[in-house]
Structure 1
Amino acid sequence: MKRALTLLSFGMALALASAPLLAAGNAANGKAKAAACFACHGADGNAVDPQYPRLAGQYNEYVQQALHEYKDGRRNNPIMKGFTATLSDQDIQDIAAYYSSLSTKLDTLQGHVQGD
Structure 2
Amino acid sequence: MHPMKPILATLILFASAHALPVWAAEARAGKGSVEAGKEKSLACQACHGQDGAAKIDPQYPRLAGQYADYLSRALHEYRSGARKNPIMAGFATTLSDQDINDLAAFYASLPVTLADLSKPVVAHE
| Superposition TM-score, scaled by structure 1 size | 0.73
**How many Å separate the matches in 1 of 2:68 and 2:79?**
17
Residue 111 of structure 1: how far off its partner (Å): 2.0
CA RMSD, aligned part only?
1.2
- Which sections of structure 1, spanning at least 5 residues, go unmatched? 1-22
| Pairing 1:1-116 to 2, within 5 Å after superposition | 24-48=31-55, 49-109=57-117, 110-112=119-121
Question: Helix, strand or coil for the counterpart of 1:53?
Answer: coil
- How many angstroms apart in 2 are the aligned matches of 1:105 and 1:85? 27
Supply the distance in 2 between the matched residues of 1:44 and 1:83 (Cα, whole angstroms). Answer: 19
Aligned residue type for 1:39: A
**Alpha-carbon contact 2:65-2:114 (below 8 Å) kept:** no
Unaligned residue ranges in structure 2 (runs of 5+): 1-29
- 2:65 is matched by which residue type in structure 1? G
Q: Percent identity?
A: 59
**Number of residue equivalences:** 90
For the Cα contact (< 8 Å) 1:45–1:104, is it kept in 2?
A: no
| 1:32 aligned partner, one-letter code | E
Query: Following TM superposition, by how much is the alpha carbon of 1:57 offset from its aligned partner in structure 2, in angstroms?
Result: 0.1
Counterpart CA distance in 1 for 2:100 and 2:49 is 17
User: What is the CA-CA distance between 1:104 and the residue it aligns to?
Assistant: 2.3
